[in-house]
Amino acid sequence: MVQFGLPDDYLQTVRSNVESVTLDDVHRITQELIRPDQLKILVVGDRQQIEAGLRELDLPIVILDVDGVETT
């Protein structure tokens, strides 16, 4: 716990801290942190099987090889 800067009573308090989070808390934080205009969707699968359907969505597509290198 010291390595991560957690308080000595972390294990005793973590559950109650998590349980005290409200739906309003979640909504507030997601509004601050999640930017819909910057979301990315990762699709993994057989390119020959899924590419045509993805192209029908008319969204920008970046194709990466197994090493994460952009390919055509």
- Determine contact, residues 62/70, Cβ cutoff 8 Å: yes
Kindly state whether residue 22 falls inside one of the protein's structural domains. yes
**Residue 72: predicted pLDDT:** 80
- Determine contact, residues 63/47, Cβ cutoff 8 Å: yes
Three-state DSSP class for 45?
Answer: coil
Rounded CA-CA distance 19/71 in Å is 45
Task: Show the domain range for 16.
Answer: 10-71
Kindly state whether residue 48 falls inside one of the protein's structural domains. yes
Kindly state whether residue 50 falls inside one of the protein's structural domains. yes
Number of domains comprising the chain: 1
Q: What is the pLDDT of residues 1-37, one digit of tens each?
A: 889 999 999 999 999 999 999 999 999 999 999 998 9
Q: Is the pTM of this model over 0.85?
A: no
Kindly state whether residue 43 falls inside one of the protein's structural domains. yes
